Amino acid sequence: MSCSFAIHQSQSPPVIKNYILIKKILLTHDPDGRHLDSQRLLHAVEKIMLYASTPDVSVSGLNVDTIAMNYPTNIEILGIQESLGQTIYKISNEILHKHSGNTDIHARVMILFELLGSYRWDAKVVLVLAAFATSYGEFWLILQIYPANKLAASVAVLKHLPRDLKTLKPRFKALMLLVKAMVDVTKSLIKFEYLPLQHIKLDNELLGFTKSVIYTATYWIIRSAFVCASTITELMNMKHDQTLDSMSNFYLRNLSSIAVTAWELSSLAYNISSIGDSLRVQVDFCCQQTELKLHQRLSSLFNETYVDNQEVLQMLVALRDGLTLKDGFSSKLGISDLKNKVVIVVVSKPDILPLERLFFLVQRTSDLPSNKEERKYEIFWIPVSTSETWNDAEERNFEYLSNSLPWYSILQPWSLNSEIVNYIKQEWNFKDESIMVVLDPQGKITNLNAIDMLLTWGAAKACPFSTSREKQLWEQEKWTIRFMVDEIDSLLTMQIEQGRNLCIYGSKDMEWINSFWLRLVSMRRSLSKSHLILQDVSSLLDLDDNDKGWAVMGKGSSTDLVKLRGAEVMECMDMFSKWVNNVGRLGLAGAIRTAIEPHFAGPCSHTNVVTYNEGSSEETSICARCKRLMEKVVLYKCEGGEAE
């Protein structure tokens, strides 16, 4: 992979060389770490502009609930007490009202730069656009609905809003072109600001020139917002008879007005677009260089040894801010909160899992102590979109689940670098199915997918979730009813502890049924083909493939089980009197088996060697061939090597 980078100063507008202006702007810039999701706020601004740019379309047929559902929510500024609405109101006041008598737009722009000094460059621009969009949206909202709404009509009269918009179309068209240019440049600015430059070092010359274009772009976007706001203010102050005159006469009588004309708006839009073209080229070069260096870094990331997991996790999310995680609805955290812990990285689509499987997974990982300091592991969710860009439905799914699940999640998954997404898909083999990749406290991968392990064993037994731990668990386990149900139901667990004989069959409790079968499916997927328990799991799953009913009977901790299907279940019940008296001697499974299975004719000399486990409660064993009670003997085997 190779690419070349260039700096195209010849394409830059003359204003970029205004170093005095840039120096003054930089003197106002002092970011304090406050965080704003600029992408989502800009998305909200675009929606306002979209609805406002179609005044001829009736809104009476629009579904308000549908619009609200597709609208970005929970957009707030982190790191300050003030709400987003309060911040936007302050900026609107600066743009529309405060110092409105001051015709020196540059001076007013610099005052606004002072007000926004604590924000990043992308946040400055998007907040100003949001402030303008709020006023612009209110203006068009009244104009669009007042013909059919008495309240809107009354407000329109008090605000002196124009009634005949035909003569104003050239101005509105020029205004929308300017706003579109402002939004387009802002997108490039956000794209640069979201690059993980704290993890990847760009060429100094490329970085320096790109930043100079960003400073200039920020200035002209904010200045243009003042011009746009002035245009709206003038329209509000326009007398009704003025809108009925021809536009040419209106312009001739208002050349001394502070409002700009359509051609001035178009000229400003051209200037913004020129800056945008230059910025777009430079940002593209920065993105190419970032992705190249990020790819190189990711390729060697897991081949190195670290003292903790911080560098690995920081590279995996590679976002610009320290606050990269969210814990439920309100808590915003950093990667440092995962230090010295086993981290399970859940990678999935934004809808993560079918609900019944998700609920069961949450249940199996619900043993986390409330005190975070006591936790040995944390679960961290990284949702990946099915396409290159996130859609509204995916964002809604993420917001709902990330606010509900007892796990950490990435704060802005739509900002994740494409190179990281590609790495996850290729190196971790993520496709459509959710995976749970386990990192030890030093950031080393110990399991590329622990989801079936968690569903089978639960977090308490599975921790630290490595493949070696999973192998150890399977080597120790026996196929019993205790293992089958493993704390899915508290009453069943209690009866198993009491040593009762149990019969498992269908149930009306759909939650129990779903949990039971999901766990069996997870067992089958995680077992090796040669494992002895695999045959038992598969045979039990096969019982559910037909609609004739099934049952499994035996003592909770015993490996001696009997599986019945269809008519065998009723046959067993009908033969109750034949096997009930043998339960004490043969056990429940053995008694039923000897009653319903054909007897073996003649003598049998089959042997079954069972390794002794201290504390084992196995008192009897039934011959697999003749179904008779087996005699128990003790076998001692010498472990010494052969004599030389």
pLDDT tens digits along 561-595: 777 776 777 787 778 878 878 877 777 777 887 77
Kindly report the three-state secondary structure assignment for every residue of 80-137.
CCCCHHHHHHHHHHHHHCCCCCCCCHHHHHHHHHHHCCCCCHHHHHHHHHHHHHHHHH
| Residues 6 or more apart in contact with residue 95 via CB below 8 angstroms | 112, 128, 131, 132, 135, 225, 226, 229
CA gap 411, 408 in Å, rounded: 9
Q: What is the pLDDT of residues 56-85, one digit of tens each?
A: 444 444 444 444 445 555 677 766 778 888
Give residue 401's Cα distance to chain centre: 8
CA gap 433, 351 in Å, rounded: 11
Q: Is pLDDT above 60 for 616?
A: no
Residue ranges of domains in the chain, CATH in brackets: 13-297 (no CATH), 310-471 (3.40.30.10), 478-512+519-579 (no CATH)
Q: Is pLDDT above 90 for 192?
A: yes
Give the model's pLDDT for residue 554.
77
Give the model's pLDDT for residue 1.
46
Q: What is the pLDDT of residues 364-414, one digit of tens each?
A: 887 766 666 777 899 989 999 888 888 888 888 888 888 888 888 888 888
225-243 average pLDDT score: 71
CA gap 342, 339 in Å, rounded: 9
Q: What is the DSSP string of 186-201?
A: HHHHHHHHTS-TTTSP
355-369 average pLDDT score: 79
Residue of higher predicted confidence among 300 and 555 = 300
233-253 average pLDDT score: 54
| Residues 6 or more apart in contact with residue 591 via CB below 8 angstroms | 579, 580, 582, 583, 585
Q: Which of 183-187, 265-269, 381-385 has the lowest mean pLDDT?
A: 265-269
Name the residue with tokens 């949450």.
362
533-559 average pLDDT score: 68
Q: Which of 55-64, 163-172, 203-212, 427-436 has the lowest mean pLDDT?
A: 55-64
Give residue 258's Cα distance to chain centre: 48
Q: Is pLDDT above 70 for 315?
A: yes
Q: What is the pLDDT of residues 443-499, one digit of tens each?
A: 999 999 999 889 888 888 889 999 999 888 888 877 777 777 776 667 777 877 777
Q: Is pLDDT above 50 for 154?
A: yes
